[in-house]
Chain A
Amino acid sequence: MKKQLALYILLLLTATATYAQEQDTKKLSFRDRMEHRIIAGFNFGGTTPVPLPNTIRKIEGYWPAFAPTLGYEATYYFQPKWGVSAGVSLELKGMSVKDSVLYFPTIMNVTEGGQTGYFEGTFTGHNKTKIRNTYITIPVAAVFKPNNNWRFRMGGYMAWLLNGHFDGDVSDGYIRNGGPTGEKIIVDQATFDFADDLRRFDMGLQGGAERRVGKHLSVQANLSWGLRSIFPSDFKGMDFPMYNIYVMLGVNYRI
């Protein structure tokens, strides 16, 4: 499914490019067809299940992380209004969230001296999760530039995790050993850390718009929507997939 989507994006890009090429009648040099930009901004958003499962009862607090992004992007125009872009950026995606959960299933694998055990249970209480993930991201997109002031982009991205943090604590609640009919164990506070379970590769859709505000400078907003859960499917710390969904607000400078 996800592979198909990626393929679809690629086809779309190629189709656009080919179409654009056919439309192209002017003879511009390669240099004239290229644009280079340095991008800087901040990511706001969440790493979240879509939709929220019914075991999450209330979002009690949400704090975007200090999540800067810095990148470079090159655009090649096949004709004045259409082009393709690719880039590379170093970005942080993160947030902190506090929520209350009810009968929330979790399985924690425990490996000790080559032996693997696990703890399985359902938790009711409060949860605080802090996510700080640093990625090297390669975005590719089709670019539409209706005039000199606006630019729109639609495409996909691939991202490699450089450094991941996914930890937090549960408090003021109870966990049931094995599931809803297991014995109830009161939890006043316990910590968890799932950083080692994070997937190293993320990919998804991304697109955005930018408005020129100076000779070289533009402001931009860009949504990236992960299509691959940040945890592998055999990870059962949470019984749902979680996706990176972030909006980057920032500026770019055309070199």
Chain B
Amino acid sequence: MKLKKLSILACFIPLLHACIKDTPLNPEADITSFTIDSADATSEVFIDQANSRILLYLTNDAYEAGITPEITITEGATISPASGQKIDFSSGAITYVVTSQSKAYQKSYTIEVVSTGDWKFDFEDWAENERDKYQYPVEEDGSILWSSGNPGTALAGLPKRNDAYPLRATTDAKFGSQAAELLTIKGTALSSLLGIKLFAGSLFLGVFDSQNALIEPLKATKFGQPLTKGRPASFSGYYKYTPGAVYQDKQGNAIPGKTDECSIYAILYTGSERLDATNIKTSDRIIARAIVADGTAKEAYTRFEIPFVYEKAIQPNESLMVAIVASSSKDGDAYIGAIGSRLVVDSLQINMKETK
């Protein structure tokens, strides 16, 4: 009788562990792949999961004729319009709506046909990420060509305000009313768990692939946009730069006597798959480089025009990409620099060779 009481007490704990509930229905609603005929594309499709956008780089013919994408989505989810259904671009904006298996969540993806235009960038128009409130530049026609490390730093739990992020718009412009401001900021308690003590401001032509942001952050920043016509001759623009007061190493220790520098460069390379921060300077696909050599302090807007130095010749009919990369700390990719380093860039431009 009394032993029974004891055993009843002892039974409570195993009981708890026995009550695993039924699997919840899948609440996720992703487009996981969006495949189009490679003959229609000038570069790979990019699914910008953070901003629910599908970026298409199309040939003129494909743009005129429309495309028939094959789409895969999260297991159990449904999509409208369906995969395999032809879409054309004459009737305005195209939106795909994915509904999760649980029916509790919906995700709407808009299709953006990206046009690289005339390779002149004035950073007059900016958009804001809905959830995390970071900014990114958009072109006059709505194309999104530029990205930054902002989507990655958002994961570190920064205050959800556009001026809390390392890349933001500034009215301190050379031309027009806005320019791009890159600021090296202190890491957060969350990022220091990953050994990240500072975030350099970055701005680049290309896309940010969030999926790799934690495991291989250097592979998350994918540089370059397709070049469909013209041959780059030079890279020009305006910048000003103020290095932060204390230069620090990866561990966050101050290194006396060292001053931070900014980094601005353009790279022309072959292929339609983007290079990233691990290989943008070393890849054998690089054809030409234009590097701003002077990364020291510039109090006032300073103009630069750097000729592309060709390392090899362009082959006929080869796919080409051009990347522009700027950072407020030259070694920001290794999380080294000075907190407070501020780089402002405006009117960046790839100048093409005169065609004969």
Contact = CB atoms under 8 A, between A and B. Distances in A.
Interface of A: 44-46, 48, 50-59, 62, 102-103, 108-113, 115-119, 122, 150, 152, 176-188, 190-192, 207-209, 211, 221, 223, 225, 245, 247
Contacts of B12: 223, 225, 245, 247
Interface stretch (B154-162, B228-236, B270-278, B314-322): B154-162
B145 to A, nearest CB: 19
A184 B21 contact: no
Given A54-B23, A186-B211, A208 B193 contact: no
Contact of A54 (B24, B106, B158): B24
A185 B131 contact: no
A43 B194 CA distance: 34
A219 to B, nearest CB: 10
A11 B22 CA distance: 40
A177 B132 contact: yes
B58 to A, nearest CB: 24
Interface string B233-262: 000000000000000000000000000000
A56 B20 contact: yes
Residues of B in contact with A, size category: 35 or more
B312 interface: no
A223 B16 CA distance: 14
B285 interface: no
A118 B28 contact: no
A62 B17 CA distance: 10
A186 B23 contact: no
Given A46-B16, A115-B159, A245-B12, A177 B131 contact: yes
A232 to B, nearest CB: 19
B294 to A, nearest CB: 32
Q: Is the interface of B mostly helix, strand, loop or mixed?
A: loop
Nearest to B131: A178
Q: Is the interface of A mostly helix, strand, loop or mixed?
A: strand
Contact of A184 (B10, B17, B23, B211): B211
Contacts of A150: 2
B16 A208 contact: no
B22 A54 contact: yes
Interface in B65-92: none
B13 A45 contact: yes
- Nearest 10 pairs between A and B by C-beta? A110-B157, A183-B49, A180-B27, A119-B157, A54-B21, A117-B159, A183-B210, A183-B50, A181-B107, A117-B157
A44 B17 CA distance: 14
Contact of B157 (A48, A118, A180, A186): A118
A108 B214 contact: no
A211 B3 CA distance: 10
A108 B190 contact: yes
B175 interface: no
Contacts of A45: 13
Contacts of A119: 155-157, 190
A103 B24 contact: yes
A185 B105 contact: no
Nearest to A222: B9
